[in-house]
Amino acid sequence: MTTKPWDLETTCQKYAAAGVPGVGLWRQWLEGRTLNESRRILDDHGIQAVSLVRSGFYPYLNQAEKQNAFDDNIRALDEAAAMGAPQVVLVCGAKPELSLSENRRHITEGIASLTEYASKVGVKLAIEPLHPMYADCRSAVNTIGQCNDIIDQVGEAWVGIAADVYHIWWDPDLEKSVKRAGKRIIALHVCDWMTPTSDMLNDRGLMGEGCIDNRGIRELLEGSAGYTDWIEVEVFSTRHWASDQDAYLQRIIESYKQNV
């Protein structure tokens, strides 16, 4: 999604040429061909699917919505398995018509309903807490602390946490929650927070353009949670998408080396 203008074939070719070994694979990029064909594109370029993004969206207003969410989450697990992605990133969802506690109950139950299938296909469910500014309609799970509480309930064998700096950088309990999470943290997404932020969704910055201490958070995860897995650059930015993507890929790599 960071280099959104590129299709899957272009992405894999450009990433491989630049020495970027993996991709966070948004499901839109799988459309229009079979899973085997998509997998072959990745394999042909030696690109690893780091994660499949995204399923979740558990809160429901009726049984049909509940069933649709379950079915879509099962499909996502199948897609991840087919693409060789070790995890599906969960954006848990929220409905403004429901109370916070109801939204959160639906989410915990929704995740619990998937662990058996996740174990069957060998793909982990990565709960991504979203920034509290999305608590109304995108996710009622907003801190790593909440993820820990959910995992205490549903078990940690097939459920982990995707830590995205954009969502968690402000959290006064971050250190405490990361320590408590430990090996539950199975993903780290980096980007930056722009001042001012002109759009709540698509005005993220490259690492170093904003105020997030990306290196500090990386060191916290490595030092306090023993994190050694992939670090994914995830920048949604209308501004950067409008720029030349070849030059942008080079800026991403430099920004990563200097600030993460």
Minimum distance of a second copy from residue 218's CB (angstroms): 15
Q: Which of 142, 237, 245, 255 binds a second copy (CB under 8 A)?
A: 142
> For residues 68 and 38, what is the distance between their CA atoms, to the nearest angstrom?
24
Q: Which amino acid is at 258?
A: Q
Q: How far is the CB of 66 from a second copy (least distance, A)?
A: 20
Dihedral sign for Cα 170, 58, 147, 236, please: negative
Query: To the nearest whole angstrom, how small is the minimum distance from the Cβ of residue 142 to a second copy?
Result: 6
| Share in percent of the chain as helix, strand, coil (round to 5) | 50, 20, 35
Both structure tokens of 203: 């005005």
Per-residue contact string for residues 10-49; x = within reach of a second copy by CB under 8 A: ----------------------------------------
Where in 220-259 is the site for a second copy (CB under 8 A)? none
Q: Which of 157, 170, 238, 242 binds a second copy (CB under 8 A)?
A: 170
Among 29, 58, 158, 169, binds a second copy (CB under 8 A): 169
Closest separation in Å from C-beta 166 to a second copy: 11
Residue with tokens 């306090």: 224
Please say whether the beta carbons of 52 and 75 come within 8 A: no
- CA angle 210/212/213 to nearest 5° reads 125
Q: What stretches of the chain show up as alpha helix (H) in DSSP?
A: 8-18, 35-44, 63-83, 100-112, 115-121, 144-154, 165-168, 174-181, 214-225, 238-241, 245-259
Stretch 46-85 residues interacting with a second copy (CB under 8 A): none
Q: Are 209 and 240 in contact (CB under 8 A)?
A: no
Of 142 and 255, nearer to a second copy (C-beta) is 142
145 lies in the site for a second copy, by CB under 8 A: yes
Shortest distance in whole angstroms from residue 95 CB to a second copy: 9
Q: Could you list the residues that contact a second copy (CB under 8 A)?
A: 96-97, 99-100, 104, 131-133, 135-137, 140, 142-143, 145-146, 149, 169-173, 193, 195-197, 200, 210-211, 213, 216
